[in-house]
Structure 1
Amino acid sequence: MPGRRYNLLIRLTRQHPLDPLSRLLSLYPLRTALNVRCHFAAPWRIELPDAEAGCAPYHLLVAGSASLELPDGSRAPLQAGDAVLFPHGGSHRLRAGDGEPSPARKIHGSHLAVETNDGTGPASDILCGELRFGPESVPLLRTLPDVVLVRTAGEPALASLRALIALLQQEADQERAGTAAVLAQLSSALFALLLRGWLEQSGTPGLLAVLAEPRLQAALHAMLAEPERPWTLDQLAALCHMSRATFVRAFRQTAGTPPAEVLTQLRMAQAARLLAQGRLAAGQIGEQVGYQSEAAFNRVFKRHHGVGPGEYRRTARQA
C-alpha cells in the first residue's frame, strides 16, 4: 500500500496552475488599507485631491446614492453596490443633496475610523480606502483608465464582488477579535474582483483586455507562464489556432500593442519583482526573464522603469 499513499500525496500536493489574471496580478504586489467608513445624511460631500504616486483611492457605496464628480466637469450617478477606483490617484468628489454640506465629524472606533454628520436628508453608507502600488506596477496601471467604475446591482456575474462589499460592511460593523486582520485580507481581494468586474463590463483596449478575449487567452497564458521563452509569432498564433496574420491583427486590436511589447512588459514586471526580493544578481534575473546578455537586459529594464536594475533594487529596499 505504500505506493498508493505516495500517489495520493502527489495528487494532494500538486499545485493547480494559476489562471492568467491571477498570474498577472502576482507580478504586481500591492498594499491595501480600508481607511474610513462614512455614515452621511444629505447634504454631504467627500472631496479628495490628487493622491501621491502609486496610491489609488477607492470608494464602495454600501447603501444610499451619490454623485461622482470629476475635475473635467463630468458626473456619474452612484447607487448601492457600486465600486469606484482611481488607479492614477486623480482628484474627485462624491456628494449627495443640494445646498451646503453638513460638516463631518469623526468617531474613532478601535478598528476603523467612522465619519458622520448632522444632515437630515437621505442617508448613505460609504467605505473608503486605498491601494498602494510599487514602481513595478506602472505598466499595469497604464492599462487602466483614470476611473474604474463597477456596478454590481443586478449583475449575477458580479455576485462575488457584491458579497465582498457586504462582508467588508459586516466586519466594519463589529468590534470582534481579528477584525482588523480580516478587513486587511478582504481589502487585498478587492483589487482582483474589481479588475475582473471591470473587464467583464468594459471593452477598453490594453493588456488586461486580452484577458477578456477568449481567442487570445492561450497566448497570454503562455507568455505569463514562461516569459523567459523566446516566443515567436508563429508559436503564439498556433496556440490560439489562428494564422499568424489573423493573430497579430486580433492582438493589436485588443491590446493596442503588438505581442512582443506585451511579452516585454511581462518580463520587466517579473524582473522588478525579483529585484525587489533581493536574492539574485541582475544577470541571473535577466536570464530568468529571457535575456542571455546582461547589457541587453539592463538596457530594456531602464527603458521600461526609468532606472537601471541596481538603482531599482536600492530604491525597493528603502521602500
Structure 2
Amino acid sequence: MKENTADSITIPYVRQMRPYREWSPGIHYAQAQTMPTGKLNWRRLYDFELLYVSQGAAVTTMHDAAYPLQAGQMILLPPGVWHQNEVLSEPHAKFIGIHFDFLGEMDVQCEDDMVVNENHVQPRKFAVEAVSDEFSPLSDHLVYHPSPAVVEWMEQLIQEFSMRSPGYKLICKGLMLNILVSLLRTQMARRIAKSTPHGPQIAALMQAVEADPSHDWSSRSLASRANMHEDHLAKLFKRIAGKPPGEFVADIRHREARRLLRETEQTVMEIGQQVGYEDLHYFSRVFKRHEGISPREYRKLARML
C-alpha cells in the first residue's frame, strides 16, 4: 500500500544538465508482457521505465492523479515516485516495458536494483535524469503517443536484449538514444501544436488514423476532413507530426500489420485489408519495402523468436 506522505509527490531524483556526448543509456530490463485484468502492487523504482500499451487498456496512478492508457500510448515512470499500474481490459493487456538510466551509471544485477525495497531504501541509487537546453526534461510529460518508429525500435531493443548476441549492449544503447530523442521531439511537436490554431485539428486527424488505419486517408480526404487546402494541410501536418500525411498513414498501417502478423491467425490477405490495402500483392510489396522481408517471412521469424 502506498504511504500517503509528501514524499509520494516529490521528485526524489536529480536532473542534471549534461551534453549529448555524455548520454549513454544503460538498459536494465526489456520485455514484452501480457498482464491479466486487475491491479498491481504500489511500488517505486530506482531507474526509469517506459511502459507502452500494445494491446488493451490500463491506468497508472501517480502523483495522486490517474493516467488512462489506451493501446498505442506510453507512460514514463520516473525513479522514486510511488505508482500503481492497473489493467482495465478483459481478459488482459499487452505491454512493452523498458527499464533504463540516462547515463549508464547504474549497476543492475537483480530486481532489487530496479524496484525499491521499502525496508531498505538506498537514496543514492536513484537514477539521474539528463536534460539539455534544447528540450524540456522528458519527465515533464509522463504520457506519450510514440511514433511507429519508436515502437519498432523498442521491439528491436527487446530482441537484442533477449538474444544478447555479441555487441548487443552497443546496439541497445543506440536504439535507446533514438527512442529518447524521438520522445523529446514529441514534446516540441506538442508545443508547436499548441502554438497554432490548427494544432488540435492535426492532432485529431492523427488520432483518427491511429484508430482506423484501414480508412481512406488520402491527402484529399484528410484535407476535406480538416476543411483545409491539401498543400496547407501537408505543411501543417509535417510541422506537427514530423512527416507528411502519406508517410504517417503508411507507418501506422505498417505498425498495425506487424502486430496482427505476430498476434493473430488472420491470413496475410485479411491483415492487408484490415490495415487498408485491398490488393494482396501491393500490401506485400509495401510491407517488404519497410521490413526487408515478406509478411509471411516476418510472421515465421517473429514466432521463432
TM-score by length of 1: 0.43
Query: Which of 1 and 2 has greater Rg?
Result: 1
